Structure 1
Amino acid sequence: MMKTHFPRGLAAWSLLAVATVCLARPIPVRDDGETPITLQGTVIGPLTSGDKAEGTLFKAYHLKLAKPMRFDDGADCGPQDKTSLALSQEDMGRYKGKTVTVQAKVFCQINRTGTYHLGDIAVVAR
């Protein structure tokens, strides 16, 4: 008699599909760059991206998130899973290595990085 693990495999696959759908629900980013959000994470960096010769070099501290988040502006940046977000503000270096809670506005910076950033940042807890 041949044993099969089909029911267990099907259950595991179904659970994975449900988890994927739940994780895939993006946070909508308005096209005006005014999407307020409160996030917690660790400040890392500074990290660089882009190319100096092409004029796309970008250097910033990032907020490393505890788990990936998906953002979608429905336009240029589109849906993206992010494990960290650039902190587009000058004074973020003083929080390097610290876990902080920030209130900020998430926006798509298409002209340099083609990804989501945080601006108008207020650190509300450390």
Structure 2
Amino acid sequence: MKTNRTTRLAAFCLLAASQLACAGKAVAVREDGETPITLRGTVIGPISSGSKADGTFFKAYHLKLGRAMTFDDGADCSEQSKASLALNQEDMGRYKGKIITVKAKVFCQTNRTGTYHLSGIVVQ
């Protein structure tokens, strides 16, 4: 029993240390928009932004993260801290209000929102 407790305690400490080490680091988003990531959060929305008049209107469900993450493509979107990310995929409404884990590609949507979104979403 002591060995099991010791192993669990060591695993917990390692996890806590890795999370602290990663805090504040920006996720590097590659220029090609092919940056895969696994995230967990609650589906909220749909959330609207932009204007129909100037062609920037955008409406999507979002993945609300447990804590904000920073993304940086080193280009148009640059470094941004995001508490939620738009889910650029049809049928995300069926997950509204649910906590889900997704594997997706993070990319900068320059032509509408100028912020980071998720595409190629696979709900796990």
TM-score (norm 1): 0.80
Is 1:77 paired with 2:77? Answer: yes
CA–CA distance in 1 between the matches of 2:86 and 2:31?
18
The count of residues paired between Structure 1 and Structure 2 equals 104
TM-score (norm 2): 0.82
**Deviation at residue 22 of structure 1 after TM alignment:** 6.0
What SS is found at the alignment partner of 1:118? strand
CA–CA distance in 1 between the matches of 2:110 and 2:29?
13
Partner of 1:65: 65
**Deviation at residue 91 of structure 1 after TM alignment:** 1.0
Partner of 1:112: 112
Partner of 1:123: 123
Gap runs ≥5 in structure 2 = 1-20
Is 1:54 paired with 2:51? Answer: no
CA–CA distance in 2 between the matches of 1:25 and 1:101?
21
Aligned-pair Cα RMSD in Å: 1.2
**Deviation at residue 25 of structure 1 after TM alignment:** 1.3
Partner of 2:16: none
Identity %: 70
Greater Rg over alpha carbons, structure? 1
Partner of 2:24: 24
